[in-house]
Structure 1
């Protein structure tokens, strides 16, 4: 598993395991009304599958995230995706000292309730 680290300080280096960042991302997604799930998990977001985020990678000293989400039918897709971007950026920025770069979102499906 990859680890993402910040710059070294006087006491050493702080690193964040990829699963920790994925879990934080999943928690942020779960706070957005209208997101029914993430593609790849096959399920609605639960604590058990929060870390099943598509891809997290470091580029230009910034954490970048690729997500595929499933949105509840009838909601504005663009607005919902932007809410996810804001929540993810805020959570990772608040909980770590990592810089967040791009949060790329693909709306991969609609959850149509009968």
Structure 2
């Protein structure tokens, strides 16, 4: 498990777990208009090698900052470049403001386009 040590002082140490970073980034991506959902693990599991877990968000340490990969499904009405750009900005802003850790890159992977609103489907 990767931990991000934020600060050490006379009071102690602040450590943020990878799961917290994943949660912040996933929530930030989901907030963007045009994002239908985070991609289901099975949507991209075949694209990942065995050393990476199949999650909707992947966090890696790079130099003094972090790199975030976000896997999303977009609504059919979304303009892909604009929506992906807004996801990048929101994820970077939220993670940096909540953790104080610099985000070097946010890579957005569009895994699918949803042509029907999942909420409109009745069982």
Q: Shorter-normalised TM-score: what interval?
A: 0.7 to 0.9
Structure 1 equivalent of residue 103 of structure 2: 100
For structure 2, the residue ranges without an aligned partner over 5 or more in a row are 43-54, 118-123
Q: Deviations over 1:43-88 (max 9, x none)?
A: xxxxxxxxx4331011011011011211001211010001101111
CA distance in 2, matches of 1:27, 1:107: 16
The root-mean-square deviation of aligned C-alpha atoms, in Å, is 2.0
CA shift at 1:13, angstroms?
2.8
CA shift at 1:97, angstroms?
1.1
Q: For 1:86, what is the secondary structure of its paired residue?
A: helix
Q: Whose radius of gyration is greater, 1 or 2? A: 2
Write 1 or 2 for the structure with the bigger share of strand. Answer: 2
Q: For 1:33, what is the secondary structure of its paired residue?
A: coil
For structure 1, the residue ranges without an aligned partner over 5 or more in a row are 43-51
CA distance in 2, matches of 1:93, 1:60: 15
CA distance in 2, matches of 1:60, 1:19: 20
TM-score, length of structure 2 as denominator length: 0.76
Kindly report which structure 2 residues correspond to 1:14-25, keeping only aligned pairs within 5 A, or say none.
14-25=14-25
CA shift at 1:95, angstroms?
0.7
Q: Is the 8 A contact 2:37 2:74 kept in 1?
A: yes
Number of aligned residue pairs: give it. 106
CA distance in 2, matches of 1:29, 1:104: 11
Q: For 1:90, what is the secondary structure of its paired residue?
A: helix
Write 1 or 2 for the structure with the bigger share of helix. Answer: 2
Q: Deviations over 1:26-52 (max 9, x none)?
A: 11012101101122346xxxxxxxxx4
TM-score, length of structure 1 as denominator length: 0.82
